[in-house]
């Protein structure tokens, strides 16, 4: 996997779009589970309309469909845990926990692919964590939120690695459709438990307010259908670890966009710039270390 400069630029554009989801999450009035339900429902219909317009078949073998839909279950749980983590703790704790995605990937990817763990991927994973901890000033006393964020990060690593394998066999938009449909189905199956035990008697909030419909369309269409499908496509040419390492820039992009949208309400400290620099260094170092590692292996092969 040796992606071109265009691939890496496209990846950063996708991460920039995902950074905007944080702003959309603030603009949408719905709670976490309802937000994930509508996001995945809109995304499923969006991809289905795309297939209908292009008159292309959507069906895949049943065994493969079960795998992709099951991956959608993981994605739904990942998003739900992510949003709940921020609600029960703080955004800082949540994002600090999500910073472990690349570290989880450094272990999960070799396990799935039956390859050796690369020491520099683990080292860069820890470097990214240190950068995000500097940015978000890690807070103690929120063990539940941190546990949810760590679980969400682990799920993100798992479904990313699985998608890296699925994309070798199926069209990215086919994968997106069945995964979003699976994620939507998971939220529906979880609704009874959620409404009884996790809403403090308020029940499920189905009704949109104000411009929720517009923000949900952007979230489901641009940030999910387009961005998710392109990210799956990039997995054909980029390693899962390099993708997840770059995705660590999502909160950085999100804060910059928040400053542009909300103005003075979002202030960046010196720690933000220091942490950003640490993350950027880790992202830029990875291709260099990966190249040196491949070169070393090539020299050994020749010898």
The structural domain count of the chain equals 1
The residue among 66, 22, 76 whose CA lies nearest residue 191 is 76
Task: From 226, 82, 222, select the one nearest 154 (Cα to Cα).
Answer: 82
pTM summary value:
0.79
Give residue 72's pLDDT: 95
Q: Given this model, what pLDDT does residue 86 score?
A: 73
Look at residue 303 in the predicted model and tell me its pLDDT: 60
Angle at 231 between CA 235 and CA 91, to 5 degrees: 120
Question: Quick one: pLDDT at residue 73?
Answer: 96
Q: What is the pLDDT of residue 236?
A: 78
pLDDT at 265: 54
199-227 pLDDT, tens digit each: 776 778 888 888 999 999 998 888 888 88
Task: Kindly state the greatest CA–CA separation across the chain.
Answer: 70
Low-confidence ranges of the chain (pLDDT < 50): 1
Range of the domain at 132: 5-302
């Amino acid at each position: 996997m040796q992606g071109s400069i265009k691939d890496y630029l496209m990846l950063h554009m996708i991460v920039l779009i995902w950074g905007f989801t944080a702003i959309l999450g603030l603009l949408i009035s719905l709670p976490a589970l309802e937000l994930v339900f509508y996001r995945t429902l809109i995304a499923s219909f969006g991809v289905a309309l795309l297939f209908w317009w292009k008159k292309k078949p959507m069906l895949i073998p049943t065994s493969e469909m079960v795998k992709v839909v099951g991956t959608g279950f993981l994605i739904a749980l990942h998003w739900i845990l992510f949003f709940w983590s921020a609600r029960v703790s703080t955004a800082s704790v949540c994002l600090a926990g999500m910073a472990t995605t690349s570290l989880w990937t450094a272990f999960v990817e070799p396990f799935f692919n039956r390859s050796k763990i690369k020491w520099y991927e683990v080292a860069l994973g820890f470097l990214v964590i240190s950068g995000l901890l500097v940015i978000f000033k890690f807070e103690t006393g929120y063990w539940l939120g941190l546990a949810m964020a760590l679980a969400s990060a682990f799920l993100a690593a798992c479904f990313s690695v699985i998608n890296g394998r699925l994309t070798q066999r199926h069209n990215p938009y086919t994968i997106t459709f069945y995964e979003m449909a699976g994620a939507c189905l998971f939220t529906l199956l979880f609704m009874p438990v959620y409404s009884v035990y996790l809403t403090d008697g308020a029940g499920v909030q189905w009704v949109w307010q104000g411009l929720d419909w517009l923000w949900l369309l952007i979230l489901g269409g641009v940030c999910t259908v387009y961005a998710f499908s392109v990210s799956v496509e990039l997995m054909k040419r980029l390693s899962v670890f390099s993708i997840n390492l770059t995705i660590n820039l999502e909160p950085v992009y999100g804060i910059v966009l928040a400053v542009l949208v909300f103005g003075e309400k979002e202030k960046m400290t010196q720690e933000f710039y220091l942490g950003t620099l640490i993350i950027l260094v880790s992202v830029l170092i990875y291709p260099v270390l990966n190249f040196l590692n491949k070169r070393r292996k090539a020299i050994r092969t020749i010898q």
